[in-house]
């Protein structure tokens, strides 16, 4: 069977362009790949288009809109997921239009499809007391519990994303003072995050117990399962969920209803902010490209302070009627303005 232009350019996009020109992370590539797996399934299963008939000329704005509608209404994907799928399609067509401009007009029509507005979820984080309760849940009398404590406290102390954590190797930990961890973040960008003595004691105990201090262990994953395989994102999410449920039973008021790996990252950022740490330093620790991304924590903190003040407000001043309301002509003019 002769390859189609769609299969050729999609293969080049995923295996060459994203990796070598964009420097995209494995997670980004996987997300884009999943988008086109879903798109192909939609075309073959829902529209009855044979894969060998799927060409660039068959992809229209109307088709893309129908695919997005199917994602939300049939597959029950969220608006955020829908927007991520659209972003992947846009990225692909931005690439294709410079290499195969035969259908440039249609590509530009598809590129005009806007992301769907949706309500962003509020930042989910724990108070310091909640965090203490959460980190008390692992059973440190067991080897697995000591591993989990080392893992969870490292996520919090570094503010690492879950993929950044599972990708850590033993060699990324600097066990000599000043203690640091080397994190490979989005866009293959490396950041060095300092570790405190208290965190290193927990981490070193785990590393010694698991015989990770030998030179030959340096390339090994820092955290692994009972099969000595690198932990997965799902594995870390399971650990967080398990201890969140345990802590919630002890004190439901301290643990948010939904607690994810990312909640620990949010918690670190909010605690640093409340401690007076400069936003620039928080940005560097979290690995944000722009400080505007980091400023969301400052806005959340300000909003909470305002709400607290509003709840505590007691009217103590006498009511003062504005002087201009006594002037009929002025009032009439203002109402017509």
Which residues participate in catalysis according to the annotation? 161, 186, 262, 265, 288, 297
Tokens of 1: 């069977």
Tokens of 129: 């007391």
Which residues, at least 6 apart from 27, have a Cβ–Cβ distance to it below 8 Å? Answer: 163
CA atoms within 13 A on the CB side of 123: 22
Which residues, at least 6 apart from 268, have a Cβ–Cβ distance to it below 8 Å? Answer: 156, 157, 158, 159, 285, 286
Task: Annotate 211-257 with three-state secondary structure.
Answer: CCCCHHHCCCECCECCCCCECCHHHHHHHHHHHHHHHHHHCCCCCCC
DSSP string computed for 253-319 = TTS-SS--HHHHHHHHHHHHHHTT--HHHHHHHHT-SSHHHHHHHHHHHHHHHHHHHHHT----SPP
């Amino acid at each position: 069977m002769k390859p189609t232009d769609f299969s050729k350019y999609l293969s080049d996009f995923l295996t060459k362009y994203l990796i070598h020109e964009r420097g995209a992370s494995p997670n980004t590539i996987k997300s884009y790949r999943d988008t086109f797996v879903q798109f192909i399934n939609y075309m073959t299963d829902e529209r009855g288009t044979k894969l060998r008939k799927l060409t660039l000329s068959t992809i229209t704005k109307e088709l893309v809109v129908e695919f997005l509608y199917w994602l939300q209404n049939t597959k029950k994907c969220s608006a955020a997921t829908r927007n991520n799928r659209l972003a992947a399609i846009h990225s692909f067509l931005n690439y294709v239009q410079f290499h195969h401009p035969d259908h440039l007009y249609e590509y530009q029509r598809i590129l005009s499809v806007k992301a769907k507005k949706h309500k962003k979820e509020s930042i989910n984080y724990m108070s310091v007391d909640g965090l203490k309760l959460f980190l008390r849940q692992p059973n440190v009398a067991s080897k697995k519990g000591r591993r989990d404590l080392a893992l969870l406290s490292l996520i919090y102390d570094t503010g690492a994303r879950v993929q950044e954590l599972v990708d850590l190797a033993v060699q990324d930990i600097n066990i000599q003072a000043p203690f640091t961890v080397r994190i490979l973040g989005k866009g293959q960008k490396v950041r060095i995050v300092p570790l405190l003595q208290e965190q290193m004691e927990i981490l070193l105990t785990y590393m010694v117990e698991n015989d990770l201090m030998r030179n030959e262990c340096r390339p090994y994953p820092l955290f692994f399962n009972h099969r000595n395989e690198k932990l997965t994102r799902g594995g870390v999410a399971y650990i967080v969920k398990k201890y969140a449920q345990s802590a919630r039973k002890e004190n439901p008021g301290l643990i948010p209803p939904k607690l994810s790996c990312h909640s620990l990252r949010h918690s670190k950022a909010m605690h640093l902010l409340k401690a007076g740490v400069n936003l620039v330093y928080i940005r560097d620790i979290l690995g944000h490209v722009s400080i505007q991304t980091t400023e969301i924590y400052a806005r959340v903190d300000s909003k909470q302070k305002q709400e607290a003040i509003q709840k505590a407000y007691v009217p103590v001043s006498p009511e003062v009627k504005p002087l201009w309301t006594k002037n009929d002509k002025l009032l009439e003019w203002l109402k017509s303005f």
